[in-house]
Structure 1
Amino acid sequence: MTSLRRVRPGLAVAATLLAAATAAPASAYWEYGHQTIAQIADANVRPKTRAAIRALLAHSELLGTPECKASNISDAAVWADCIKPLKGPDGKARFGYAYSWHYQDVNICHPFDLVAACKDGNCVSAQITKDVALLKNKRAPLHDRVQALAFLVHFVGDLHQPLHAGEKDDQGGNKVLASYGGYGTARLNLHSIWDGYLAERAITSGPPIVRRYPAAVRAKIAAGDVTDWSRESWQVAHDVTYASVMADPCAPTPAHVTMDEATIEKDVPIARLEVERGGLRLAKLLDQALG
């Protein structure tokens, strides 16, 4: 969901940052989070799909972004964020047209509606659908299919960060200053907590999250379509992300909120589930497109 409008800091390693509270958060969760989702998908796709992914990414030089690698699925997972600052010969943002593709502003306090949020296809769920269609089309130019693959791997991850799918006129929580446990700076906000601190803790808690999941689990989690997953992530934003830091998610948001340790422990399983959902649903879409 990061755009010029939405700049979200991530983190490198939570323990390091918590020990150095004066340091600004470094770039990471949606590096770590996106890469973890991609690795889950890679572990759960069919062998034929995995081979097709590798074959396409072998041509990643066609993207023309030597600064932003996409030669394997982990690198491809963060390519769409890496390219944001790249400039064209005219000095303008080379990929500026894609800024709004990382999220969808669906207000959690209004009925769920993707129509306004996805005007002209400029939202994450619409782009996921578009990218799957491009990958299925073997007559499409190779460059377009490689780019669609890189975008798809990233955008499915974006959709499963709840503040990319639901918000309340606060730039997906970027305008909500926040404290996380005993850590807080002027740059830390509700969005960056879910992007980084909470997600890293969720991914590293419990058994290894990157693994081959049983068929029944894969089928259950990957059921539905992109609209269903959008609605679910939007609901998580309402029921968990905002509800964790305020009694009424639809009341005016305080200028500063706090996630104490008890709240963090309660939210970790939900954040972990969102990563698992992202990975297994990405695997489903990749199988549909390439398998």
Structure 2
Amino acid sequence: MIRRLLALATLFAALLAPATASAYWEYGHETIGRIAYLNVKPETRAAIDRLLSHSALLDTPTCPARTVAEASVWPDCIKKLGDRFSYAYSWHYQNVNICKPFNLKPACKDGNCVSAQIERDVRLLKDRKKVPLRERVQALAFLIHFVGDLHQPLHAADHGDLGGNKLKATYGIYSTPKLNLHMIWDGYLAERAITTPPSLVKRYPAAVRKKIAAGTVKDWSRQNWEVSRDIAYASAEGGDPCAKPEPKHVTLSNKTIAKLIPAARLQVERAGLRLAKLLDEALG
């Protein structure tokens, strides 16, 4: 009995340990990549496979990108390589203030934000003549990852707390000193949402793909900023997050978590189908 209790304690500790990924943890990014891969045109899928067959050009053997699933987490994996890719750290998010009118310019100075990099990666992939193969492979991996990042609401907006990184949180009955609201949306909530049936990884009807993928990267940025303000922060803080002082700690009850599952699922679905649209535009 004591051994079983110790084993359970170890398991819970592992589940609550902070991850090093920048946005959606591995399962979230891989799921978004798989949704996109199933929903692109056949010629786009072939082009993706051709590019990733040259992933060795990236010269990151500890961070492979041979498949869409591997490429989806490559931009987080390379953070461990230090100065080689340190220039890309700010490309994973955009701190757009939820308590001011939507404005990307302050958060995207010199293109150093996730939405600007998504647009840049599409341009690089389209240019088959001037852009070297290695750079196009890298742009593909970044694009797959960054569209996922943009749809993690706390990477699309900020409340003066680094997208919830400074806001301590309790998730159901679980809490550790390092657990914060950002981590919950990165991993615990996303993973629960993805594993809630039915599966999000499927071929979607053309009408659904068209409806969800409509708009521009800027439109999607605004929508995800709204989701951050009206759902992610509001549900955690019990109302309008801009109407009262910022809390130091929030608790997401089991009831609140259950209510957030549909919203979290929709964000993953949106990311996958919008990524498919961009890949078709760039490679189809």
2:218 aligned residue (227, 235, 251): 227
Tell me what 1:244 maps to.
235
- Distance in 2, Cα, partners of 1:126 & 1:143: 20
Alpha-carbon spacing, 1:212–1:258, altered in 2? closer, same or farther (3 Å):
same
Is residue 290 from structure 1 mapped to residue 277 from structure 2 by the alignment?
Answer: no
Tell me what 2:62 maps to.
67
1:116 aligned residue (106, 110, 120): 106
Is residue 80 from structure 1 mapped to residue 75 from structure 2 by the alignment?
Answer: yes
Is residue 55 from structure 1 mapped to residue 53 from structure 2 by the alignment?
Answer: no
- Distance in 2, Cα, partners of 1:17 & 1:38: 33
Tell me what 1:107 maps to.
97
- What's the offset of the Cα at 1:158? 0.0
Tell me what 2:116 maps to.
126
Tell me what 1:142 maps to.
133
- Distance in 1, Cα, partners of 2:281 & 2:123: 10
Is residue 272 from structure 1 mapped to residue 265 from structure 2 by the alignment?
Answer: yes
- Distance in 1, Cα, partners of 2:276 & 2:251: 35
Q: Give the partner amino acid of 2:17.
A: P
Normalising by structure 1, what TM-score?
Answer: 0.90
- Unaligned stretches of 5+ in structure 2? 1-7
Tell me what 1:199 maps to.
190
- Distance in 1, Cα, partners of 2:147 & 2:250: 28
Q: Give the partner amino acid of 2:183.
A: S
Contact 1:117 / 1:123 at 8 angstroms: preserved in 2?
yes
Secondary structure of 2:223's aligned partner:
helix
Contact 2:98 / 2:158 at 8 angstroms: preserved in 1?
yes
Secondary structure of 2:81's aligned partner:
coil
Secondary structure of 2:79's aligned partner:
coil
Q: Give the partner amino acid of 2:241.
A: P
More helix by share: 2
Alpha-carbon spacing, 1:120–1:285, altered in 2? closer, same or farther (3 Å):
same
- Distance in 2, Cα, partners of 1:18 & 1:287: 44
- Distance in 2, Cα, partners of 1:18 & 1:262: 26
- What's the offset of the Cα at 1:17? 8.4
- What's the offset of the Cα at 1:85? 1.8
Q: Give the partner amino acid of 2:198.
A: P
Q: Give the partner amino acid of 1:287.
A: D
Q: Give the partner amino acid of 1:163.
A: L
1:164 aligned residue (130, 152, 155): 155
Report the aligned-residue RMSD.
Answer: 1.5
1:25 aligned residue (6, 17, 20): 17
Q: Give the partner amino acid of 2:232.
A: T
- Unaligned stretches of 5+ in structure 1? 1-15, 88-92
Contact 2:18 / 2:183 at 8 angstroms: preserved in 1?
no
Alpha-carbon spacing, 1:231–1:17, altered in 2? closer, same or farther (3 Å):
farther
- Distance in 1, Cα, partners of 2:69 & 2:118: 18
Q: Give the partner amino acid of 1:56.
A: L
- Distance in 2, Cα, partners of 1:275 & 1:22: 24
Is residue 151 from structure 1 mapped to residue 146 from structure 2 by the alignment?
Answer: no
Normalising by structure 2, what TM-score?
Answer: 0.92
Secondary structure of 1:104's aligned partner:
coil
Aligned residue pair count:
271
User: Structure 1 vs Structure 2: percent identity of aligned residues?
Assistant: 65
Secondary structure of 1:192's aligned partner:
helix
